[in-house]
Amino acid sequence: MSKPTIILATSNGVGMGHLARASAVALALKDVANPIIVSMAGGIAELPSYMGIRCEYIPGRDRGWMSRDSWDKYLRDRLLALVEETDAKVLSFDGVVPYPGVIAAKNANSKLALVWVRRGLWQKKPQRFVLGLQSRMMDCIVEPGDIAREYDHGPTSMRKDAILTSPVSLFQPSQAMPRDDARKALGLDLKRPAVLVQLGTGDSDVNEKMTAALSGLLGWKDLQVILTKAPIDKNGNSLAPEGLDIKVVRYFPLANVLHAFDAGVCATGYNGVHELLPAGLPTVFVSNIRGTDDQEARALWCHDKGYALRADQSNLEDVEAKVRQLQDVEVRNRLSGKCKELPAATGGVEIAKILFELATKAQAAKPAPLTYMRLITQEHVNRGLRHIANLGLRRLALIYRFLHPHIVAEEIKLDAPLFGEQTEPSELRELIKGNVRFEHLIAGASKEYKMKREAIAYTAYGKEIQVTKKRSLF
């Protein structure tokens, strides 16, 4: 029997959690199925060459290249075309809220099984109000386990509609490099201490937390500070204090080289917690409170149970002080020793088994048309309510920008989109981040698929052939 094709789709989240989970599941599927990863996250550029798995980048609605309604149809048509091209039996979606385009793809193909990989630990955000309708559209819901599930009091915590698995992690002891090998792979000094810092940059409060965390490392003798992103603000100004030896590295998956580090400072996202702690890395968690993920609950659990230190993300002095504690070897030894008590993170294999069993079933269930219509109607209602709630602020912003206009630095090219099957990370990164509309295709795409994708793209983008500078109103 030939291997079934399973599409693993992810949203463009705040971090790499969705994409990392999909990668772990895809690796577990490789021997028995043909996994394909599609994502709106730019991090997908790192996957094809490392994993040997076909991938497609889909530009998210946040790129602003088409209207919201057009993007929903575009996503639906992209997914349906890929299903037809690969004869996929299962579409898995890892994200907080399944996009209308994902639901529409399921509704248009009764033979396609739709699975929602729905992480727990939600904050009580508006997305919770359509949980019931979204859930009824699924053939299966899977909740990847969370070591902090005991502290989950969000809207998914009391639901009984999901299959709970073990935590999902790209860190696997059998794949992790020994300390010296990992340091050589990253270009680090073999003898000097090294700390990994994985905190975001962007808004002023996030930047301030980065500076506070880095300040807590001052005075650590001969320290190498490793970041995955340059510590600069949007204007190119450094967020790092003087006196640190900082090195920016890019390596995928970082989980394989975590033994290179003596300690870590990280946001408390699903991905970071379930990689750094199983690797035994003494860590200070500084939560990101944006988005739906309840990072504070996860950080509190890790701190209360003794697996990591939690910094109060609202108190910059506490961030600096907690990070400074990592300079104490006794603190580091205590934390790494406690982490050895964590059970193995086998959720990737468990989810792969669920998807494979669905892919080899006779046929997926067809959702009731009424449920689909109710969900789409609710989506439009929610969108309208959000619009009304923000109308006052929006008008103030419009007035302000009318008086103080500025031009977006990026030129958005509205000429014909660029199609390509690139798999090399550096080339893919440039195309994904670039200002030319990029239409990525899976490697080895058929002529028929390419023609269909061209039709989908031109329907979505229209026929503008010009280069403009957009005036920002916000």
pLDDT in tens, 337-387: 999 999 999 999 999 999 999 999 856 555 555 554 554 554 454 444 334
Structural contact between residues 305 and 150, judged by C-beta atoms closer than 8 angstroms? no
d(CA 314, CA 288): 10
Which of 429, 308, 469 is CA-nearest to residue 41? 429
Write down the residue that tokens 């996994």 correspond to. 35
Does 464 or 330 have the greater pLDDT score? 330
Q: Where are the beta strands (DSSP E) in 126-241?
A: 140-145, 163-167, 194-198, 224-227
Alpha-carbon distances of 7 from 4, 85, 120, 387, 444, rounded to whole Å: 10, 12, 22, 33, 16
Which of 260, 98, 284 is CA-nearest to residue 179? 260
Of the listed ranges 304-313, 396-405, 426-435, the least confidently predicted one is 396-405
Q: What is the three-class DSSP state of 274?
A: helix
**Dihedral sign, CA of 262, 320, 43, 359?**
positive
pLDDT score at 382: 45
In the chain, pLDDT over 70 holds for what percent of residues? 85
Query: Across all residues in the chain, what is the average pLDDT?
Result: 87
Phi and psi at 89, nearest 5°, equal -100, -25
pLDDT in tens, 219-240: 999 999 999 999 999 889 999 9
pLDDT in tens, 415-430: 788 999 999 999 999 9
Write out the two tokens for 205. Answer: 């409060």
In the chain, pLDDT over 90 holds for what percent of residues? 73
What is the band of 468 on the pLDDT scale with cuts at 50, 70, 90? Answer: very low
pLDDT score at 16: 75
For the chain, list the domains and their CATH numbers.
Answer: 5-168+349-467 (3.40.50.2000), 179-339 (3.40.50.2000)
d(CA 180, CA 194): 12
pLDDT score at 14: 58
pLDDT in tens, 234-263: 889 999 999 999 999 989 899 999 999 999
Write out the two tokens for 233. Answer: 């603000």
What pTM did the predictor assign?
Answer: 0.87
Write out the two tokens for 187. Answer: 């270009």
Question: Which helix (DSSP H) or strand (DSSP E) does residue 9 occupy?
Answer: strand 5-10
Does 179 or 206 have the greater pLDDT score? 179
Strands 467-468 and 471-472: unpaired
pLDDT score at 462: 79
Residue type, 47: L
Question: Which helix (DSSP H) or strand (DSSP E) does residue 34 occupy?
Answer: strand 34-39
Residue type, 342: L
- Taking 70 as the threshold, does the pLDDT of residue 213 lie above it? yes
pLDDT score at 406: 41
